Amino acid sequence: MDIAAFLTSAGINIGLCVVLFSLYSILRKQPSNRVVYFGRRLASVRIRNDDFFSIERFVPSPSWIVKAWETTEEEILSIGGLDALAFQRMLIFSIRIFSIAAIICVLLVLPMNYYGKEMQHKRIPAESLDVFTIGNVKEGSRWLWAHCLALYVISFGACVLLYFEYKSITEMRLAHVIKSPLNPSHFTILVRSIPWSPGESYSDSVKKFFTNYYPSSYLSHQMVYQRGIIQKLMVDAEKMCKMIIPVHIDGRSLRPCCLCARNTTSFKMLSSEPESVKDSVSYADLDIATRENECSAAFVFFKTRYAAVVATQMLQSSNPMLWVTELAPEPHDVFWSNLSIPYRQLWLRKIAILLAAIVFMFLFLIPVTFVQGLTQLDKLSKTFPFLRGLLKKDFMSHVVTGYLPSVILMLFLYTVPPMMMLFSSVEGHVSRSGRKRSAGLKILYFTIWNVFFVNVLSGSIISQLNVFSSVRDIPMELAKAIPIQASFFMTYVLTSGWASLACEVMQLFPLSINMFKKFILRNQEDSSDDLISFPYHTEVPRVLLFGLIGFTCSIMAPLILPFLLIHFFMAYLVYRNQILNVYIPKYEGGGHFWPIFHNTTIFSLVLTQIIAIGVFGIKESPIASSFTFPLVICTLLFNEYCRQRFSPVFQKDVVEVLMDMDRRDEQSGRMSEIYQQLHSAYCQIPITSHEFCESAQERHRNKIQDPQGINPGTELSEASETWAVVNFGKESPTTKN
Amino acid sequence: MDIAAFLTSAGINIGLCVVLFSLYSILRKQPSNRVVYFGRRLASVRIRNDDFFSIERFVPSPSWIVKAWETTEEEILSIGGLDALAFQRMLIFSIRIFSIAAIICVLLVLPMNYYGKEMQHKRIPAESLDVFTIGNVKEGSRWLWAHCLALYVISFGACVLLYFEYKSITEMRLAHVIKSPLNPSHFTILVRSIPWSPGESYSDSVKKFFTNYYPSSYLSHQMVYQRGIIQKLMVDAEKMCKMIIPVHIDGRSLRPCCLCARNTTSFKMLSSEPESVKDSVSYADLDIATRENECSAAFVFFKTRYAAVVATQMLQSSNPMLWVTELAPEPHDVFWSNLSIPYRQLWLRKIAILLAAIVFMFLFLIPVTFVQGLTQLDKLSKTFPFLRGLLKKDFMSHVVTGYLPSVILMLFLYTVPPMMMLFSSVEGHVSRSGRKRSAGLKILYFTIWNVFFVNVLSGSIISQLNVFSSVRDIPMELAKAIPIQASFFMTYVLTSGWASLACEVMQLFPLSINMFKKFILRNQEDSSDDLISFPYHTEVPRVLLFGLIGFTCSIMAPLILPFLLIHFFMAYLVYRNQILNVYIPKYEGGGHFWPIFHNTTIFSLVLTQIIAIGVFGIKESPIASSFTFPLVICTLLFNEYCRQRFSPVFQKDVVEVLMDMDRRDEQSGRMSEIYQQLHSAYCQIPITSHEFCESAQERHRNKIQDPQGINPGTELSEASETWAVVNFGKESPTTKN
C-alpha cells in the first residue's frame, strides 16, 4: 500500500470520526436520548423533563470533551469505582509510553528506515509504506544501533511506568478496601460442596460444622436454594404483595426479605426503611424452602472480616473436594444461577470450556483468512471476476485494500464477546465480576491470536499450516512478517481503533433501540433496564491489542505511532465521558483487570524484543542482536519481581488491613449494625420488573457514588436545562449484565 | 544387537548380582562392618561387641532376604517413617502394574510382534532383538488391535492402582499427623523478611507484630542469628563446657540451650534430662546475641496448631514481600544456614538455579553422545583404529556394545545428585526435606531428559539439532526411535538397574571408607557421623525412570518387561533391607514424594499413549490411532481429578484434623508440657563433633521408631551374636545429609 491509499483510509476515518462526534454532541442534547447518553446520571439524580425547543440543541459543541478532560481522578474513582480508575490508568500509561516511543522512533528511527538503502526516492505521497519500515534498512547496516537504542528506551520507559502504576493501583486497592467499611462481602464466605448426611438438612450440616470449627467467629448462614423454588417463591411474593401493600403501609416501597438461617422456612415482608424492621410481620412457614430444595451451597456470615478470610484460606476437610470455601462476592456481584452447580462438576466444566474456546479460536481463522485475501487485489479479482470492472477504479481499489478488510474483521469480532461471556457463564463462575474477568481473558487471548498472530503469519510468506511445526524460526518469521503487515495494522488502528471509539461514544445499538421504542412503539417511558455496566471485558483487551501492535511496530514501522497516540488520546476522552455519563458501576472488582494489563504489556514488550532479535539477525547485525538478549532477561526479571511484590494483594486480603478495620468497627460499636445488614444483604431473588429488593440499597450506593453530589445535573442542565423530574416507577437499574 | 549379545550382558549382570549379594551376606556378618550395614540399628540399640571367630561368618546366607520379605508395613512405617512407606508403595505399584503389563504383553503382544511379518525366522539365539519389537509388524496389519488392547489394559490398570495408592497414602499422611501429637513444628511458623525499623531490634518488631495481630494465639518467638555469631557462641560454649562439666554434674551429657525470646541474650546450660531443667544455671548476658547479629527471620510459636496454620496461610502485610510466613520445618529438618538468606534474594536465586540446571542438563549431552557412539561398532573402530584388533573378537564386541555404554553412562550419572543437591542448597530451601525434594525433582527431570529422551532421539535417525525444530512430528519420531532403542534400554535395565541395586546393598562407598579407616588408619572406634538418611532424591527418580522405560517399551518391545519386573522385585527386597538396617530417618517428609511419583507416572502413561498414536500412524492403522486418542484424554482427566481430590492435603494442613488435635491436647492438659518443649525445640547450633544438643531428643525419637522394641538386635545377633556394647561416646547420628 502506498501513502496515498493509506491517506484515503485515514481521510475516511477522520471524516467519519468528526461526523460521528458532532452527531453525538447533538444527539446527547435531545431529551429523548437521555437514557442512552446519561444513564448513570439518571440513575442517581432526578432531572426535570421540560422538553422545550431551542436552536442550541442542534448545534454541535465540544463541551463534553472539555468536561471529560476536566474531571479529576477522585471524581472518576467516586463515580466509576476502582475498576474505572484502573482502566483510566491503562489509557494514561499507553499515552505516556507511546509518546516516548513516538518521539524517539519518529525522530531517530524513521529517518534511518527511510534512508536505510541507497535508492531513488519518489515523491512522498507515491512512496510505498514499506519504505518507512525496517525492511528498507540494508543488511549489515551500522544504523541498526539506533533501533536497538530505541528499543532500550521504550523497554526501560515501559518498565518504569508499569512499576509506578502497579504500585499506585495496589495502594488504591488497599485504600479502597479500607474506605468501604460496610461491605457485607467482607464478612461473608461462600461454602460449596457441603456433604450430604442422611439425617440432616444441608443447613443443619453447615450450622454444625461452623459452630464446631469456628465457634467464636461464626455468626449465621443462609442457604442457596434451587432456582425453581426461588421463582415459585417470587410468584407467591408478588401475590402477597398485591394483597398486603394497601393494608400494611401505603406509599412505602416493600421488599421481600431474604431467607436467613435464623428462620429458614419463614417468609417475611420488610419495609425497606431500617427503623421499621422490628415491625415486620412474620408469616407462617410456607413449606417451600424445605431441605429438598436446598443446594449444597451456602453463604456463611462471620463476626469479623478477619475470621471470614481465615475460613477461606484454610483447607476445611480431609477431602479437599468437600467444604470448599471462598470469599463471597458482593451482593450485587453474585451470579445466583451458577451457585447451584455442584462443585464437583466445576473442573470438568472448566476443561470443557477451555477446549471449546480453543476450537472457537481456530474456527475463527476462516473469516480472518478471507479478510487477508482482500488485501491482495489480484487474487480477489481472479476469484470474483464480476468485481474486476469495479476494482479497476482507483478509488474503489483504495477502499477495498485499505478499508474493507478491517471493517469485515471488525464485524466478525463483534460476535466474540457474547460468545466468550457465554463460555464464562457455563464455566460456573459465582460472581459477575469473575465471569467478566474470565471472559476478558478469553477475549484477550482470542484477539491477540486472531487479530495479531494470524494476520501476521497468514499474510506473510509462511503458509499457515507450517507455522506450528517450527518453533525455533518463529522470531525470524515474525521479523519478516511484521514490517510487511505494518500497513494492515495501520489501517486497523484507523478503522477498528478510531471508528470503534466513535461507535462507542455514539452508543449505536442502545441508541437505535431507544429510537425504535420512542418513535415506532411510541413508548415514551424511559426504562432503567437498559442501563449497563462498563464492558471492561471487551475494552481492556482492545487497549491491550493496540498496545501490542504499538510495541511490535514501534521500531519496525514507526509511522504507526502518531496514529496510535491519537487513538489513545481519543480513547482517554471518550471513556472518561462514558464513565461519567453512561455506564453505572454495579459492583466493585477492585481493579482486578490491572494484573492482566500488566502481564500482557510485559508479554508485548518481550515479544517486541524477540522480534527485534529476529530482525537484527536477518539484517546481519549480531552485535545489536546480542545486545537485545539481556533486555529480554531484564524484562522477565522485572515482571517476576512485580509478580512477587504486587500481585498477592490482588489475590488475598491483607491481615493488617482487615484487623485494623475490625478493631475500628468494634470500638465504634458499629458491629451490631453491620450484623443487621448482613442478614438481608444476600438476596436470592431473580431480578424481574418488580425490584423491591434492591431499590433502597441502590439508592444508598448512588448517594455514595456522588458523594458531594458533584455536579448534580450541571452537565445535564447544559444539555437541556429544563427536563422535568421523571419518576421511573422503579428507578433502580437492573443487575443484569 | 542379537539375543546372544543380550544374553552375554544379562549373564554378566546375573553373575555380578549373585556375587555381590553373596559377598554382602558375608560382609554384613563381620563386626567391623556393622556401622556400614546396621547403622540404623546401632543408633537405636546397644549391641555387645564380642568379636569372636566363627565359620558361619564366612558362609553366604539368604537370611536377610527372608527378613526383608517378612517385615510388615507397620514395621516399615514405624522404622522409616511415612516417606519410607510411600517409597515401598511406589515399588509395590511398579511390581503390580508391570506384572499386568508383562502378562498381557508377553502372551498377547510378543507373538504378534514376532510373527508380524512374513519372514524366515532364524534360531532364537541368533535372532535380532528387533524381531521382538513392534518394528517387525507389517504396515496396515490387523494385529495392531492387540497392541491397542494391551495399551488400554495397562492404562486402565495403572489409573486404578494409582487412585487407590494415592488415596491410601493421603489417609496415611493424615493419620500420621494425628499420631504425632508432640511435633513442635505444628505449633511453629517461620517468619522471614521482617522489616527493619530504626528504633527497634528485629526481635522487638516480631513481638510487636504478633502481639498486635495474633494477640490470643501468640506464645513466643526465637530469632535466627547470623551464622558467624552462632559459631562464636559455640566456641564459647565449648570452653564453658570444659570448665563446667566436672563441676556441675558428672557423667550426664550436657546441652547448650537455645536462644529463646524470653531471655534472648542469656546463655544457659541445661542438663538434657527434663527434670533438671529447673536447676539450670542462668549465666550473665553474654553480649553476643545482640540486635546487630539478628537475621530478619524468626521462629514464632503459637498456642495452638490451628493458629499456626492460620498465620501461615494469610497475607500478613500490604507489601507481600514483608512478613512472609510459612510453616516451620521439624527441628531436625531445619537447614539453618539458609535461614539467614534475605528473602528478597530468593526469587533471583531460584531463577538463577533454574537456568544453571538447564545449562547443566544440556552440557551433559556430551558424555551421552559419546556413549551412544559406542553402540555403533563401525564408527568406534574408525575413530580409534588401535581398538580394531580388540573389537574383532566376538566376546569383546559383545561387551563393548552390550555393556560398556551403560556403565559409562552410569558413572557419569553419579556426578548428578551431588550437583543437584548443591543447586537446591543455593536455591535457599529452609528445610532439608524441601531441599531433598527439590533436588529429587531436578534429578528426575535430568534423568528423564538425559537418559530417556536424548538416548532415544540421538540414537535414532534424527540428528540432535533438528529435534527441537519440529514439534508436530515428535510422536512419529519417538515411535520410530523407541523400538530401535529398545535393546539399549534392556541393557540399561540390566546394568543400571540390577547392578546398581547390588551396589546399593553393598554400600560400596561407605564400605571402602570404613575399610580404609579400620585397616589403614587403624581407628577402631565407630563414628556415628557416617550414618545417612535414605537418599529419596536419587532413588525415587530411578524408580520413575524405570517406570517410564517400562511403560514406553511395554507394547513396543515387550521383551524388556520380565527383566524390569525382576528389577523391581529385587529393589523391593533390597530397599526394605536398607530401610530396616542402614538408613536412619532424620525427619519426616509425610510422603511428600508421592505426588511427584503420581504425576510422573501419568506423564509416562500419556507419553506411551502419544507414542502409540505415532506408531499406529506409521503402521497405517488409523482405527487403532483414533482409539488411542480418548485414552489420552481420559488419563489426563483422571490426573486432574486426582490433583483436585488428593494433592491439596499434601500442600496444606486440614482444619478438622488440627482442631481435633488441639482440643484433645487442651482437654488432656498436655498443652503446657508442649509449650515447655517448644522453647528448646529449635536449636541453632551447627552440628560439630560435640552434639550435646540433640542426643536426648534423638534417643527419644529412636525409642518411638522402635516402639515395641521390635527385634532389638535379633538380626544383629544372628549376624554376630556376641558384639560387645559399644558406647559411641556421642551416639546420636548427625543431621547432615
Cα Dmax for chain A: 93
Quickly list DSSP for B494-528. Answer: IIIIIIHHHHHHHTHHHHHHHHIIIIIS---S--G
Name A624's Cβ contacts closer than 8 Å, sequence gap at least 6. Answer: A144, A145, A147, A148, A612, A616
- Measured CB to CB, residues of chain B less than 8 Å from chain A are 170, 174, 212-213, 309-310, 313-321, 347-348, 351, 468-473, 637, 640-641, 644-649, 652-657, 659
Domain ranges of chain A: 3-178+348-379+390-652, 184-329
Report the range out of A459-463, B38-42, B95-99, B667-671 with the highest average pLDDT: B95-99
Residue B557 CB neighbours (<10 A): 28
CA distance B420 to A42: 66
User: Half-sphere exposure of residue B412, counting CA atoms within 13 Å on the CB side?
Assistant: 20
The nearest alpha carbon in chain B to A652 belongs to B315
Helix (H, G, I), strand (E, B) or coil at B376: coil
Phi, psi of A255 (to 5 degrees): -140, 140
**Grid cell digits, residue B176:** 500420621
SS3 labels along A556-575: CCCCHHHHHHHHHHHHHHHH
Return the number of other C-beta atoms located less than 10 Å from residue A402's C-beta: 28
Per-residue pLDDT at A690: 39
Q: Give the distance from residue B454's alpha carbon to the nearest chain A alpha carbon, in angstroms.
A: 19
pLDDT of res. A46: 56
Strands A281-282 and B324-327: unpaired
Per-residue pLDDT, averaged over B171-196, amounts to 87
CA distance A555 to A144: 10
Q: Name the residue among B317, B468, B656 with its Cβ closest to that of A656.
A: B317
Contact across the interface for B320 and A649, Cβ inside 8 Å: yes
Tell which of A351, A652, A655 to mutate to test the B interface (max B CBs under 10 Å): A655
Among A335, A332, A180, residue whose Cα is nearest residue A705: A180
pLDDT higher than 90, residue B472: no
Task: Tell the residue number behind the cell numbers 551421552, with chain if given.
Answer: B368
Cβ within 8 Å, pair A313-B313: yes
How far apart (Å, rounded) are the C-alpha atoms in residues B271 and A213? 40
Quote the pLDDT of residue A103: 93
Segments in chain A below pLDDT 50: 245-288, 461-465, 467-468, 687-737
Q: Which among B348, B468, B648 has CB closest to A315?
A: B648
Give the single-character DSSP code of B138.
Answer: P
Q: Say yes or no for a CB contact (<8 Å) between A469 and B471.
A: yes
DSSP B334: B
pLDDT tens digits, B386-417: 766 766 677 777 777 666 776 777 777 788 89
Q: How far is B310 from chain A (nearest CA, A)?
A: 6
Q: Which amino acid is at B480?
A: K
Task: With a cut of 70, say whether residue B656 has pLDDT above it.
Answer: yes
**B39 Cα to chain A: minimum distance (Å):** 37
Alpha-carbon Rg for chain B, nearest whole angstrom, is 29
**Of B313, B468, B649, which has the smallest distance from its Cβ to A318's Cβ?**
B649
How many C-beta neighbours within 10 Å does residue A519 have? 10
Q: How far is B592 from chain A (nearest CA, A)?
A: 16
Note whether A185 and A328 are within 8 A (CB): yes
Q: At what angle do helices A3-27 and A474-492 cross, to 10 degrees?
A: 50
Tell me what ipTM this predicted complex has.
0.78
Whether the CA torsion A95, A96, A99, A105 is positive or negative: it is negative
Q: pLDDT by residue (tens digit) across A120-160?
A: 777 777 777 777 888 778 887 888 888 899 999 999 999 99
The burial class, CB within 10 Å (0-12 / 13-18 / 19+), for B725 is: exposed
Residue of chain A whose alpha carbon sits nearest to that of B654: A315
Instruction: Round to whole Å and give the CA distance between A138 and A131.
Output: 12
CB contact under 8 A, A213 and B655: yes
CB contacts of B654 in chain A (<8 Å) are 315-318
- Closest to B93 measured CA to CA, from B161, B166, B159, B164: B161
Report which of residues B455 and B546 the model is more confident about: B546
Name the residue in chain B with its Cα closest to that of A348: B637
Q: For residue B635, which residues of chain A lie inside 8 Å, CB to CB?
A: none
Cβ-defined contact of A310 to B314 (cutoff 8 Å): yes
pTM to 2 decimals?
0.81
Chain A residues with CB inside 8 Å of B653's CB? Answer: 315
Residue type, A488: F
3-state helix, strand, coil split of chain A in percent (to 5) is: 70, 5, 25
What pLDDT does B456 receive?
74
Q: Inter-chain contact B347–A644, Cβ cutoff 8 Å?
A: yes
Interchain pair A174, B318: CB under 8 A: yes
Q: What stretch of H or E contains B77?
A: helix B73-104
Cβ contact, residue pair A320, B656, below 8 Å:
no
The distance of A265 to chain B (nearest Cα, Å) reads: 30
Identify whether the C-beta of residue B395 lies closer than 8 Å to the C-beta of residue B5: no
Task: Write the pLDDT tens digit of every residue in B598-610.
Answer: 999 999 999 999 9
Q: What CA–CA distance (Å, rounded) separates B327 from B431?
A: 11
Q: What's the mean per-residue pLDDT of chain B?
A: 77
Contact assignment for B315 to A653 by CB distance below 8 Å: yes
Cα(A705)–Cα(A716) distance, integer angstroms: 17
pLDDT of residue A497: 81
Residue B231 or B435, more confident: B435
Write down the pLDDT at residue A730.
Answer: 35
> Could A645 and B319 be called an inter-chain contact, meaning their C-beta atoms sit closer than 8 Å?
yes
Q: Name the residue among A314, A321, A652 with its Cβ closest to that of B655.
A: A314
In Å, how far is B330's CA from the nearest CA of chain A? 21
Q: Which residues of A touch B652 (CB under 8 A)?
A: 314-315
Q: pLDDT at position B378, please? A: 64
Q: Which residue, among A38, A36, A45, has the nearest Cα to A726 in the 3D structure?
A: A45
Residue A497: DSSP 8-state: I
Dist. CA A336–CA A323, nearest whole Å: 19
Smallest CA–CA distance from A345 into chain B, residue: B641
**What residue in A sits closest to B634 (Cα-Cα)?**
A348
**Burial of residue A151, with CB atoms counted within 10 A of its CB: 0-12 exposed, 13-18 middle, 19 or more buried:** buried
Query: Which positions in chain B touch A641 (Cβ < 8 Å)?
Result: 347
Q: How many residues does chain A have?
A: 737
Nearest residue, CB atoms, A659 vs list B213, B469, B472: B213
Choose the closest CB to A645 out of B320, B645, B654: B320
Q: Which three cell numbers stand for residue B336?
A: 539453618
Write out the residues of chain A at the interface with chain B, using a CB-CB cutoff of 8 A: 170, 174, 212-213, 309-310, 313-321, 347-348, 351, 468-473, 637, 640-641, 644-649, 652-657, 659
For residue A344, the Cα-to-chain-centroid distance in whole angstroms is 29
Contact A472 B471 (CB under 8 A): no
Does residue B490 contact residue B520 with C-beta atoms inside 8 Å?
no
Per-residue model confidence (pLDDT) at position A38: 78
Q: What are the cell numbers at B196? A: 527493619
| Interface mutation vs chain B, best among A652, A656, A659, most B CBs within 10 Å | A656
Q: What percentage of chain B exceeds 70 in pLDDT?
A: 75
Are B655 and A473 an interchain contact pair (Cβ–Cβ within 8 Å)?
no
How far is Cα B423 from Cα B441, in angstroms, rounded to an integer?
Answer: 12
Q: Mark yes or no for CB contact B657/A351 under 8 Å.
A: no
